[in-house]
Amino acid sequence: MHDEAIKAYDEAIRLDPKLVSAWHNKGVALGNQKKYDEAIKAYDEVIRLDPDQVAAWYNKGVVLSAQNMHEEAIKAYDEAIRLDPNQVAAWYNKGTASR
């Protein structure tokens, strides 16, 4: 299922390389498949296109945490929190990554 979604996102990106939502959703699908390095690349592209995308910073933190890259994850969570101080999940996951 995720493979088909990724193919669709890739086609959307081919047609519009600046389509932030396609990059973000591709990152989510790749993360769900545990293709963490590829997911991070997708989130980095979202952030390059729109650095204020809270969800991309948060999801990048989730993927980094899944790889036990806790210091990097905390930095991503901190950016999500800077952009949206009420981002409860980022605060929670930052605490979890800090243990």
Residue 99 has pLDDT above 90, yes or no: no
CATH code of 2-97, in short, is: 1.25.40.10
Confidence band, pLDDT 50/70/90 cuts, at residue 31: very high
User: Is this model's pTM higher than 0.75 or not?
Assistant: yes
- The answer to whether 8 and 19 have CB atoms below 8 angstroms apart is no
Q: Please determine, for residue 1, whether its predicted confidence score (pLDDT) is greater than 90.
A: no
pLDDT digit string (tens) for 35-91?
999 999 999 999 999 999 999 999 999 999 999 999 999 999 999 999 999 999 999
- Measure CA 5 to chain center: 16
Give me the pLDDT at residue 56, please.
98
